[in-house]
Chain A
């Protein structure tokens, strides 16, 4: 690995979403919500979901973390908004695969392929997955619960 790999991790899309996170707001009428924490680095975020039937009508997050975790959360809200639970689940599985070195489907990942850069940085995989785990937990519960990765 050489110094140039750092550009694979911190790609333009990541830097942009870190600087200007999308859907970065509290959602007062959310019907699902979960807290995500990474106690080792202090990353902490809240994911808000508003479901209409089985469609994700609105998705937002708040919190603080490193560029990877913020960008990942921001991208997630952008991609999943308007998707059905089933579609969201499929994307979640593909994101997981791509970060754990399994073959993932680029057609499903689309823009989310930029998150694949963390594969080469095992210490950072948890930064990228925190928001996704938190979203997954939020969807599965109808009350406030916490997720912890470390």
Chain B
């Protein structure tokens, strides 16, 4: 650990070694979804080749091995985010499902008309819409922490937004549209001073920096596997044990029960109470392998390398004429959103693609952020630790190509 070897790392990601339209692929769309190292692909392969069976059920050997691998992944997640206990780790489909689960099982039962739910202006739609649906249903109010031109949260009125009516504060740790790292620890402390529970959306944080739920002291923490080098269809809901214990399950079925009769069903213990039905076993094993992989690279080391990459890219784009960077917060991770003067981001995306540079052009599921800046969309380059300085140079070349075409 400590010494980060980009060449060794890239060998673990076979997908990166390809050409697109005759150019080497520069995959700079990691905020949408990340690539998977061979170790993750192999772990899932091995499971299907050797251990495939249902979990928590069979007495037979394969089921035992599948259960061990599945539960082993849970412990890896616990250590990865520094939770206290395996019981606090619930496997779900992704960040979106985790937020919906909390909205339904934790907030809904205690929400009354006139109550408030506090989010921020830079949330992903996944951390807006479930709350909006709930507010509409109950007659509660969605309150939004404003943002500044640089793309930082404007916390000047924060204390006043935390009221006796606030039933939950739900905040993204890192903005997927802007890359802003929000001061979630301080915000959680302030919310807690007023007795307000806190959910942190860590979907864009976990791929890029160490995660520590006890340090933040948040009540819930959610993220998706596919953005952190694991497969799609697996994600995590962390919740403090005492809170999860109090909550009613949200889906009923097998695995989430201890006993069922037509008169009464006794729910299973944590975390199984929230894992109805046969889970995504292979995906969970893949997630465990992704955590092992990140640990082997070294999370501090990859975070530092990525910062260098972001600074290099930011400096390059800042030095170019006709480029406006959207989101210039003091603390940022991974994301570089920008506009090229006189060119719509969609045209940028198509022309980049022809040069092998994969980025996202659009609103990034954060339309309120676009509305704030009065733009329909941005072009967004987002980095992972397997990206190189040469790929940043390819990005710069692609921008020059666009400017030449639209001159």
Contacts and interface: CB of A to CB of B under 8 A. Distances in A.
Contact of B346 (A6, A7, A15, A127): A127
Nearest to A65: B344
Looking at chain B's contact residues, the main secondary structure is: mixed
A5 interface: yes
Interface stretch (A20-28, A40-48, A92-100, A131-139): A40-48
A64 interface: yes
B197 to A, nearest CB: 33
Interface stretch (B37-45, B295-303, B350-358): B350-358
Nearest to A118: B350
B349 to A, nearest CB: 8
Contact of A6 (B22, B345, B350, B377): B350
Interface residues of A, number: 23
Nearest to B375: A42
Interface in B7-28: 21-23
Interface string A58-76: 0000001111100000000
Contact of A10 (B347, B355, B361): B347
Contact of A3 (B22, B346, B361, B362): B22
A40 to B, nearest CB: 7
A31 to B, nearest CB: 29
Given A10-B405, A15-B406, A41-B377, A66 B362 contact: no
Contact of B343 (A2, A67, A124): A67
A123 interface: yes
A2 B21 contact: yes
Contacts of B376: 41-44, 64-65
B51 to A, nearest CB: 40
A3 B350 contact: no
B370 interface: yes
B366 to A, nearest CB: 12
Contact of B377 (A3, A15, A42): A42
B355 A124 contact: no
A38 to B, nearest CB: 9
B350 A121 contact: yes
A41 B367 CA distance: 11
Contacts, number: 57
B344 A6 contact: no
B370 A3 contact: no
B344 A67 contact: yes
A87 to B, nearest CB: 31
Contacts of A2: 21-22, 354
Contact of B405 (A6, A43, A68): A6
B363 interface: yes
B interface residue count range (under 10 / 10 to 19 / 20 to 34 / 35 or more): 20 to 34
A65 B377 CA distance: 10
A5 B350 contact: no
A82 to B, nearest CB: 30
Interface string A111-132: 0000000000101100100000
A128 to B, nearest CB: 12
Nearest to A1: B21
A114 B376 CA distance: 26
Interface string B355-384: 100000111000000100000110000000
A109 interface: no
Contact of A42 (B22, B347, B354, B362): B362
A41 B346 contact: yes
A88 interface: no
A19 to B, nearest CB: 8
A80 interface: no
A124 B346 contact: yes
Contacts of A44: 376
A6 B352 CA distance: 10
Contacts of B363: 42
A9 interface: yes
Contacts of B345: 41, 66
A5 B361 contact: no
A9 B350 contact: yes
Nearest to A5: B354
Nearest to A43: B376
The list of the 9 closest CB pairs from A to B, nearest first, reads A42-B376, A66-B344, A66-B346, A6-B354, A67-B347, A66-B347, A3-B354, A41-B346, A42-B377
Interface of A: 1-3, 5-7, 9-10, 15, 40-44, 64-68, 121, 123-124, 127
Interface of B: 21-23, 343-347, 350-351, 354-355, 361-363, 370, 376-377, 405-406
25 contacts: A1-B354, A2-B21, A2-B354, A3-B22, A3-B354, A3-B355, A6-B351, A10-B347, A10-B405, A15-B406, A40-B362, A41-B361, A42-B376, A43-B376, A64-B344, A64-B376, A65-B344, A66-B346, A67-B343, A67-B344, A68-B346, A68-B347, A121-B350, A123-B350, A124-B350
